[in-house]
Amino acid sequence: MTEEALRDLVRAREDIRGDLMRARQRLSKLLLRYDVRYEDTGSAWTARHRAWLGKLDLGETGAQATLLDYLGAIDALVVRRDALEATISQLVPDSPWAQTIARLRCLRGVDTLSAVGLCAEIGDFERFEHPGRLMSYLGLVPSENSSGERRRQGAITKTGSRHARRLLVEAAWHYRRAPAKGQALKRRQEGQPANVIAISWKAQQRLHRTWRRLDSERGKRRTIVAVAAARELRGFPISERPCRSSPSAALSSAFLAASRHCSAGEGRCVVHVSAGSSQSRAGHVARPLLLGPALRRLSLSAGASRHSTS
Protein backbone atom coordinates (compact mmCIF):
# COMPACT_ATOMS: atom_id res chain seq x y z
CA MET A 1 0.00 0.00 0.00
CA THR A 2 1.53 3.31 -1.07
CA GLU A 3 1.49 6.43 1.03
CA GLU A 4 -0.54 8.33 -1.55
CA ALA A 5 -3.27 5.65 -1.66
CA LEU A 6 -3.62 5.64 2.13
CA ARG A 7 -3.63 9.45 2.16
CA ASP A 8 -6.51 9.49 -0.33
CA LEU A 9 -8.42 7.01 1.84
CA VAL A 10 -7.90 9.10 4.98
CA ARG A 11 -9.02 12.27 3.24
CA ALA A 12 -12.10 10.51 1.86
CA ARG A 13 -13.03 9.53 5.40
CA GLU A 14 -12.49 13.13 6.54
CA ASP A 15 -14.81 14.37 3.77
CA ILE A 16 -17.52 11.96 4.90
CA ARG A 17 -17.07 13.10 8.50
CA GLY A 18 -17.71 16.69 7.41
CA ASP A 19 -20.74 15.67 5.35
CA LEU A 20 -22.13 13.71 8.29
CA MET A 21 -21.70 16.63 10.65
CA ARG A 22 -23.56 18.95 8.27
CA ALA A 23 -26.36 16.41 7.70
CA ARG A 24 -26.87 16.04 11.44
CA GLN A 25 -26.92 19.79 11.86
CA ARG A 26 -29.62 20.13 9.20
CA LEU A 27 -31.76 17.57 11.01
CA SER A 28 -31.23 19.25 14.37
CA LYS A 29 -32.32 22.61 12.96
CA LEU A 30 -35.43 21.05 11.42
CA LEU A 31 -36.46 19.67 14.79
CA LEU A 32 -35.69 22.98 16.46
CA ARG A 33 -38.06 24.79 14.09
CA TYR A 34 -40.83 22.45 15.26
CA ASP A 35 -39.78 22.82 18.90
CA VAL A 36 -38.84 19.14 19.21
CA ARG A 37 -36.01 18.63 21.68
CA TYR A 38 -34.08 15.59 22.81
CA GLU A 39 -33.75 15.79 26.59
CA ASP A 40 -30.79 13.44 27.08
CA THR A 41 -28.22 15.55 25.26
CA GLY A 42 -25.36 13.47 26.66
CA SER A 43 -26.31 10.52 24.44
CA ALA A 44 -26.95 12.45 21.22
CA TRP A 45 -26.32 10.53 17.99
CA THR A 46 -26.17 7.18 19.72
CA ALA A 47 -28.33 4.11 19.04
CA ARG A 48 -30.76 5.32 21.67
CA HIS A 49 -31.00 8.72 20.02
CA ARG A 50 -31.49 7.11 16.58
CA ALA A 51 -34.37 5.03 17.93
CA TRP A 52 -35.98 8.19 19.33
CA LEU A 53 -35.65 9.94 15.97
CA GLY A 54 -37.32 7.02 14.20
CA LYS A 55 -40.44 7.39 16.36
CA LEU A 56 -40.93 11.12 15.75
CA ASP A 57 -44.03 12.42 14.01
CA LEU A 58 -43.96 16.11 13.11
CA GLY A 59 -47.66 16.15 12.22
CA GLU A 60 -47.29 17.53 8.69
CA THR A 61 -46.73 15.50 5.54
CA GLY A 62 -44.04 17.76 4.11
CA ALA A 63 -42.13 18.03 7.38
CA GLN A 64 -42.32 14.28 7.98
CA ALA A 65 -40.99 13.56 4.49
CA THR A 66 -38.11 15.96 5.12
CA LEU A 67 -37.35 14.26 8.42
CA LEU A 68 -37.23 10.81 6.81
CA ASP A 69 -35.03 12.09 3.99
CA TYR A 70 -32.56 13.61 6.46
CA LEU A 71 -32.52 10.37 8.49
CA GLY A 72 -31.83 8.33 5.36
CA ALA A 73 -28.94 10.61 4.39
CA ILE A 74 -27.43 10.34 7.89
CA ASP A 75 -27.74 6.54 7.94
CA ALA A 76 -26.09 6.27 4.53
CA LEU A 77 -23.18 8.47 5.60
CA VAL A 78 -22.69 6.45 8.80
CA VAL A 79 -22.47 3.24 6.77
CA ARG A 80 -19.94 4.78 4.38
CA ARG A 81 -17.87 6.17 7.26
CA ASP A 82 -17.78 2.83 9.10
CA ALA A 83 -16.75 1.02 5.91
CA LEU A 84 -13.84 3.39 5.30
CA GLU A 85 -12.72 3.18 8.94
CA ALA A 86 -12.69 -0.62 8.75
CA THR A 87 -10.64 -0.48 5.55
CA ILE A 88 -8.14 1.92 7.12
CA SER A 89 -7.70 -0.36 10.15
CA GLN A 90 -7.04 -3.34 7.85
CA LEU A 91 -4.43 -1.50 5.78
CA VAL A 92 -2.45 0.01 8.67
CA PRO A 93 -0.26 -3.07 9.45
CA ASP A 94 1.04 -3.19 5.86
CA SER A 95 1.42 0.55 5.39
CA PRO A 96 4.77 2.42 5.33
CA TRP A 97 3.70 4.23 8.51
CA ALA A 98 2.92 1.13 10.59
CA GLN A 99 5.70 1.74 13.15
CA THR A 100 5.04 5.49 13.39
CA ILE A 101 1.30 4.89 13.87
CA ALA A 102 1.98 2.37 16.64
CA ARG A 103 4.16 4.87 18.48
CA LEU A 104 1.76 7.77 18.05
CA ARG A 105 -0.97 5.60 19.57
CA CYS A 106 1.06 5.54 22.77
CA LEU A 107 0.08 9.17 23.34
CA ARG A 108 -3.05 9.96 25.30
CA GLY A 109 -5.89 11.06 23.04
CA VAL A 110 -4.36 9.54 19.88
CA ASP A 111 -5.81 6.29 18.54
CA THR A 112 -5.60 4.61 15.14
CA LEU A 113 -7.61 7.09 13.07
CA SER A 114 -5.87 10.12 14.57
CA ALA A 115 -2.43 8.55 14.13
CA VAL A 116 -3.13 7.57 10.52
CA GLY A 117 -4.49 11.04 9.81
CA LEU A 118 -1.38 12.72 11.21
CA CYS A 119 0.93 10.45 9.21
CA ALA A 120 -1.07 11.03 6.04
CA GLU A 121 -0.93 14.82 6.38
CA ILE A 122 2.64 15.17 7.68
CA GLY A 123 4.39 12.31 5.89
CA ASP A 124 7.98 11.74 7.00
CA PHE A 125 8.45 13.21 10.47
CA GLU A 126 12.23 12.95 10.14
CA ARG A 127 12.31 15.71 7.51
CA PHE A 128 11.69 18.27 10.26
CA GLU A 129 15.00 19.01 11.94
CA HIS A 130 13.36 20.63 14.98
CA PRO A 131 9.90 20.34 16.60
CA GLY A 132 9.39 24.07 16.10
CA ARG A 133 9.50 23.62 12.33
CA LEU A 134 6.81 20.96 12.50
CA MET A 135 4.64 23.24 14.64
CA SER A 136 5.10 26.02 12.09
CA TYR A 137 4.30 23.63 9.23
CA LEU A 138 0.98 22.78 10.88
CA GLY A 139 0.09 26.42 11.52
CA LEU A 140 0.14 26.12 15.32
CA VAL A 141 2.56 29.00 15.94
CA PRO A 142 1.46 32.61 16.60
CA SER A 143 1.39 35.03 13.70
CA GLU A 144 3.72 37.99 14.05
CA ASN A 145 3.73 41.59 12.87
CA SER A 146 6.96 43.15 14.03
CA SER A 147 8.96 46.17 12.98
CA GLY A 148 12.15 47.46 14.56
CA GLU A 149 11.94 47.11 18.32
CA ARG A 150 8.18 46.56 18.23
CA ARG A 151 7.03 42.95 18.37
CA ARG A 152 3.36 42.09 18.07
CA GLN A 153 2.00 38.52 18.01
CA GLY A 154 -1.50 37.51 17.01
CA ALA A 155 -3.57 34.39 16.43
CA ILE A 156 -2.05 31.18 15.10
CA THR A 157 -1.14 31.21 11.42
CA LYS A 158 -3.38 28.24 10.47
CA THR A 159 -1.11 27.31 7.59
CA GLY A 160 -0.71 23.74 6.44
CA SER A 161 -3.20 20.93 6.91
CA ARG A 162 -6.43 21.85 8.66
CA HIS A 163 -7.12 18.14 9.20
CA ALA A 164 -3.87 17.53 11.09
CA ARG A 165 -4.40 20.67 13.15
CA ARG A 166 -7.90 19.56 14.15
CA LEU A 167 -6.65 16.10 15.16
CA LEU A 168 -4.00 17.60 17.43
CA VAL A 169 -6.41 20.04 19.06
CA GLU A 170 -8.92 17.26 19.70
CA ALA A 171 -6.19 15.12 21.27
CA ALA A 172 -5.03 18.06 23.42
CA TRP A 173 -8.41 18.22 25.17
CA HIS A 174 -7.68 14.83 26.80
CA TYR A 175 -4.89 16.39 28.86
CA ARG A 176 -7.28 18.47 30.95
CA ARG A 177 -7.56 15.55 33.37
CA ALA A 178 -4.79 14.45 35.71
CA PRO A 179 -2.16 12.11 34.22
CA ALA A 180 -3.31 8.49 34.29
CA LYS A 181 -2.98 5.26 32.32
CA GLY A 182 -6.33 3.71 31.53
CA GLN A 183 -6.86 0.22 30.21
CA ALA A 184 -7.26 1.42 26.60
CA LEU A 185 -3.95 3.35 26.73
CA LYS A 186 -2.16 0.39 28.29
CA ARG A 187 -3.38 -1.87 25.49
CA ARG A 188 -2.12 0.58 22.87
CA GLN A 189 1.29 0.74 24.57
CA GLU A 190 1.81 -3.03 24.71
CA GLY A 191 4.97 -4.11 22.90
CA GLN A 192 6.26 -0.57 22.36
CA PRO A 193 9.78 0.61 23.38
CA ALA A 194 10.19 1.75 26.97
CA ASN A 195 11.50 5.17 25.93
CA VAL A 196 8.40 5.81 23.80
CA ILE A 197 6.15 4.96 26.77
CA ALA A 198 8.26 7.24 28.96
CA ILE A 199 7.81 10.10 26.48
CA SER A 200 4.07 9.49 26.50
CA TRP A 201 3.98 9.77 30.30
CA LYS A 202 6.13 12.90 30.21
CA ALA A 203 3.73 14.42 27.68
CA GLN A 204 0.80 13.75 30.02
CA GLN A 205 2.53 15.46 32.93
CA ARG A 206 3.73 18.47 30.99
CA LEU A 207 0.53 19.11 29.03
CA HIS A 208 -1.60 18.75 32.15
CA ARG A 209 0.57 21.40 33.81
CA THR A 210 0.01 23.60 30.77
CA TRP A 211 -3.75 23.17 31.08
CA ARG A 212 -3.69 23.89 34.80
CA ARG A 213 -1.45 26.95 34.45
CA LEU A 214 -3.31 28.57 31.57
CA ASP A 215 -6.85 27.53 32.50
CA SER A 216 -6.99 27.60 36.29
CA GLU A 217 -4.24 30.06 37.18
CA ARG A 218 -4.37 32.53 34.28
CA GLY A 219 -8.02 32.17 33.28
CA LYS A 220 -7.44 31.75 29.55
CA ARG A 221 -10.26 30.54 27.30
CA ARG A 222 -10.19 26.78 27.01
CA THR A 223 -10.10 26.90 23.23
CA ILE A 224 -6.86 28.90 23.44
CA VAL A 225 -5.46 26.51 26.04
CA ALA A 226 -6.27 23.54 23.79
CA VAL A 227 -4.32 25.08 20.90
CA ALA A 228 -1.34 25.77 23.19
CA ALA A 229 -1.43 22.17 24.43
CA ALA A 230 -1.70 20.88 20.85
CA ARG A 231 1.40 22.87 19.90
CA GLU A 232 3.37 21.29 22.76
CA LEU A 233 1.94 17.84 22.03
CA ARG A 234 3.29 17.90 18.48
CA GLY A 235 6.69 18.89 19.84
CA PHE A 236 7.19 15.57 21.64
CA PRO A 237 9.46 13.24 19.63
CA ILE A 238 8.24 9.66 19.15
CA SER A 239 11.06 8.37 16.99
CA GLU A 240 14.03 6.60 18.56
CA ARG A 241 16.42 8.40 16.23
CA PRO A 242 18.29 11.39 17.67
CA CYS A 243 17.62 14.80 16.18
CA ARG A 244 19.83 15.63 13.24
CA SER A 245 22.27 18.46 13.67
CA SER A 246 20.89 21.74 12.44
CA PRO A 247 21.16 25.45 13.26
CA SER A 248 17.90 25.29 15.21
CA ALA A 249 19.02 22.21 17.14
CA ALA A 250 22.38 23.84 17.86
CA LEU A 251 20.62 26.97 19.08
CA SER A 252 18.43 24.87 21.39
CA SER A 253 21.57 23.21 22.76
CA ALA A 254 23.01 26.66 23.41
CA PHE A 255 19.81 27.63 25.24
CA LEU A 256 20.10 24.50 27.36
CA ALA A 257 23.75 25.02 28.21
CA ALA A 258 23.18 28.66 29.01
CA SER A 259 20.13 28.04 31.16
CA ARG A 260 22.22 25.89 33.51
CA HIS A 261 24.27 28.98 34.36
CA CYS A 262 21.24 31.17 35.10
CA SER A 263 20.07 31.40 38.65
CA ALA A 264 16.41 30.56 39.26
CA GLY A 265 15.70 33.91 40.86
CA GLU A 266 16.86 36.11 37.99
CA GLY A 267 14.26 37.84 35.87
CA ARG A 268 16.31 37.40 32.69
CA CYS A 269 19.56 35.94 31.50
CA VAL A 270 21.86 37.31 28.80
CA VAL A 271 23.51 34.60 26.71
CA HIS A 272 26.11 35.12 24.02
CA VAL A 273 25.65 32.61 21.21
CA SER A 274 28.65 32.40 18.91
CA ALA A 275 28.24 31.88 15.19
CA GLY A 276 31.29 29.71 14.77
CA SER A 277 29.43 26.55 13.68
CA SER A 278 29.83 25.09 10.23
CA GLN A 279 26.32 26.25 9.29
CA SER A 280 26.96 29.93 10.14
CA ARG A 281 27.76 32.44 7.48
CA ALA A 282 31.06 34.26 7.30
CA GLY A 283 31.09 37.63 8.99
CA HIS A 284 28.47 36.80 11.65
CA VAL A 285 29.49 37.65 15.18
CA ALA A 286 28.30 36.57 18.59
CA ARG A 287 25.03 38.20 19.59
CA PRO A 288 23.30 38.46 22.97
CA LEU A 289 19.93 36.75 23.47
CA LEU A 290 17.53 37.47 26.31
CA LEU A 291 16.10 34.34 27.87
CA GLY A 292 13.14 34.68 30.21
CA PRO A 293 12.26 32.11 32.86
CA ALA A 294 9.61 30.47 30.67
CA LEU A 295 12.06 29.99 27.79
CA ARG A 296 14.64 28.50 30.14
CA ARG A 297 12.09 25.96 31.39
CA LEU A 298 11.12 25.13 27.81
CA SER A 299 14.73 24.57 26.77
CA LEU A 300 15.30 22.26 29.72
CA SER A 301 12.23 20.22 28.83
CA ALA A 302 13.32 19.99 25.20
CA GLY A 303 16.77 18.83 26.25
CA ALA A 304 15.31 16.16 28.53
CA SER A 305 13.16 14.88 25.64
CA ARG A 306 16.20 14.59 23.40
CA HIS A 307 18.17 12.70 26.05
CA SER A 308 15.29 10.27 26.62
CA THR A 309 15.17 9.35 22.91
CA SER A 310 18.92 9.02 22.38
What does the pLDDT look like over 92-122, one tens digit per residue?
A: 999 989 999 999 999 999 999 999 999 999 9
Of the chain, the percentage scoring pLDDT greater than 70 comes to: 76
The better pLDDT of the pair 253, 169 is held by: 169
Other Cβ atoms less than 10 A from the Cβ of 52: the count is 15
The Cα 165–Cα 144 span in angstroms is 19
Q: What is the pLDDT of residue 129?
A: 84
Question: At which of 234, 265, 285 does a domain end?
Answer: 234
| Residue 239 covered by a domain | no
Contacts of 217 (CB under 8 A, 6+ apart): none
Whether 64 and 159 share a structural domain: no
**In Å, how far are 35, 66, 74, 138 from 60, measured between CA atoms?**
14, 10, 21, 49
The Cα 125–Cα 238 span in angstroms is 9
Query: Model confidence over 127-143: pLDDT tens digits?
Result: 888 888 889 999 999 99
Q: What is the pLDDT of residue 250?
A: 34
Q: What is the pLDDT of residue 247?
A: 36
Query: Model confidence over 59-83: pLDDT tens digits?
Result: 999 999 999 999 999 999 999 999 9
Whether 22 and 140 share a structural domain: no
Total-model pTM: 0.72
| Residue 241 covered by a domain | no
Cα distance between the two ends of the chain? 31
**In Å, how far are 5, 259, 299 from 253, measured between CA atoms?**
39, 10, 8
The Cα 230–Cα 211 span in angstroms is 11
Whether 176 and 105 share a structural domain: yes
Whether 198 and 168 share a structural domain: yes
Cβ atoms 61, 69 nearer than 8 A: no
Q: Tell whether the model's pLDDT for residue 302 goes beyond 60.
A: no
Question: At which of 180, 199, 234 does a domain end?
Answer: 234
Query: Model confidence over 246-279: pLDDT tens digits?
Result: 333 333 333 333 333 343 334 444 433 333 333 3
| Per-chain mean pLDDT for the chain | 80
Cβ atoms 115, 101 nearer than 8 A: yes
The Cα 247–Cα 132 span in angstroms is 12
Q: Tell whether the model's pLDDT for residue 294 goes beyond 80.
A: no
Whether 75 and 107 share a structural domain: no
Residue 256 belongs to domain spanning = 247-309
Q: Tell whether the model's pLDDT for residue 285 goes beyond 50.
A: no
The Cα 176–Cα 204 span in angstroms is 9
| Residue 212 covered by a domain | yes
| Residue 169 covered by a domain | yes
Helix, coil or strand: residue 147: strand
Cβ atoms 157, 139 nearer than 8 A: yes
| Residue 262 covered by a domain | yes
Q: Tell whether the model's pLDDT for residue 239 goes beyond 60.
A: no
Whether 195 and 255 share a structural domain: no
Whether 90 and 185 share a structural domain: no
Whether 64 and 149 share a structural domain: no
Domain count, the chain: 3
Of the chain, the percentage scoring pLDDT greater than 90 comes to: 64
Cβ atoms 225, 210 nearer than 8 A: yes
Other Cβ atoms less than 10 A from the Cβ of 54: the count is 10
* 187 HSE (CA, 13 A, CB side): 5
Q: What is the pLDDT of residue 42?
A: 82
Question: At which of 203, 234, 265 does a domain end?
Answer: 234
